[in-house]
């Protein structure tokens, strides 16, 4: 089960003056999901976009929107992100006091709920919440910026998460990885059992974002390019 392999370009590295065109380009290359990095300048030292921008982008594509909330008190804003048209919402557990309540709130609205592990956050912190989530997001860089180097040690968490999934008989949970994913490492990452691959700079800073997505997808599914 769970041999799902999905490419989720992160628009963080896109040209913000032409987000619509950028999304269309990756869509034509076979992108499965659009990853939206939401930063508030408090949880991470950077500020990005919020619900009004997402609402505008929603009109341009039918691809699922995956909101990665790097904000404090995500419970205050989650409904706004749902109303803006997000289909998946993940949050950092250390940014929220009642994570179970928040996961249930997200799911109640028919939106997939995920929790995020920072590079230094151990897998055992999700031992209880894992029963309730649809996906786990493993950060392979420190959150806040695109274009950082993949931290190989973070990949070890994937095996541990898979083990937890087996223990609770929830092999349907998807594992997403975020940070430093590119053509040269995606096959190795995929082999560990990751399902969703976020890629920002390797897609939008390339000459041809559509082609970049296509190649990432081929490599994630082990088809030689
Ligand atoms: C970092 C973000 C990532 C980032 C990925 O805080 O969560 O989604 O945009 O960018 P790359 O692929 O360039 O590491
Ligand atoms: Zn992200």
Question: How do the pLDDT tens digits run along the chain, 225 residues long?
Answer: 448 999 999 999 999 999 999 999 999 999 999 999 999 999 999 999 999 999 999 999 999 999 999 999 999 999 999 999 999 999 999 999 999 999 999 999 999 999 999 999 999 999 999 999 999 999 999 999 999 999 999 999 999 999 999 999 999 999 999 999 999 999 999 999 999 999 999 999 999 999 999 999 999 997 554
Rounded-to-integer distance, Cα 196 and Cα 186, Å: 11
Q: How far is the CA of 185 from the centre of ligand 2 (A)?
A: 17
Q: How far is the CA of 151 from the centre of ligand 1 (A)?
A: 12
Going by CA atoms, what residue is nearest to atom 1 of ligand 1? 143
pTM value is 0.97
Residue 145 structure tokens: 């910026």
Q: Which domains does the chain have, with CATH numbers?
A: 6-221 (3.20.20.70)
Atom of ligand 1 nearest to the CA of 181: 12
Query: Cα separations (Å) of 202 from 34, 160, 189, 221?
Result: 14, 27, 15, 17
If one residue of 8, 10, 22, 199 were mutated to test the ligand 1 pocket, choosing by the most ligand atoms within 8 A of its CB, it would be 10
Residue 144 structure tokens: 């806040």
Q: How far is the CA of 145 from the centre of ligand 1 (A)?
A: 6
Classify strands 174-178 and 135-139 as parallel, antiparallel or unpaired.
parallel
């Amino acid at each position: 089960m769970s041999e799902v392999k999905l490419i989720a370009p992160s628009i963080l590295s896109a040209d913000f003056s032409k987000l619509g065109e950028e999304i269309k380009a990756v869509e034509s290359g076979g992108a499965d999901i659009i990853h939206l990095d939401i930063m508030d300048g408090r949880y991470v030292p950077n500020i990005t976009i919020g619900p009004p921008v997402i609402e505008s982008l929603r009109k341009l594509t039918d691809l699922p929107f995956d909101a990665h909330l790097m904000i404090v008190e995500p419970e205050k804003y989650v409904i706004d992100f749902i109303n803006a048209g997000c289909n998946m919402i993940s949050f950092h557990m250390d940014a929220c006091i009642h994570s179970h309540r928040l996961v249930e709130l997200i799911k109640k609205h028919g939106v997939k709920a995920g929790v995020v592990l920072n590079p230094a956050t151990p897998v055992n912190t999700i031992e209880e919440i894992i029963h309730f989530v649809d996906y786990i997001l493993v950060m392979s860089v420190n959150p806040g910026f695109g274009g950082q180097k993949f931290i190989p040690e973070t990949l070890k968490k994937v095996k541990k998460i898979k083990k937890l999934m087996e223990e609770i008989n929830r092999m349907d949970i998807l594992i997403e990885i975020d940070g430093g994913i590119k053509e040269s490492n995606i096959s190795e990452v995929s082999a560990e059992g990751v399902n969703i691959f976020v890629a920002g700079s390797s897609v939008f800073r390339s000459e041809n974002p559509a082609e970049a997505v296509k190649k990432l997808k081929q490599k994630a599914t082990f088809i030689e390019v």
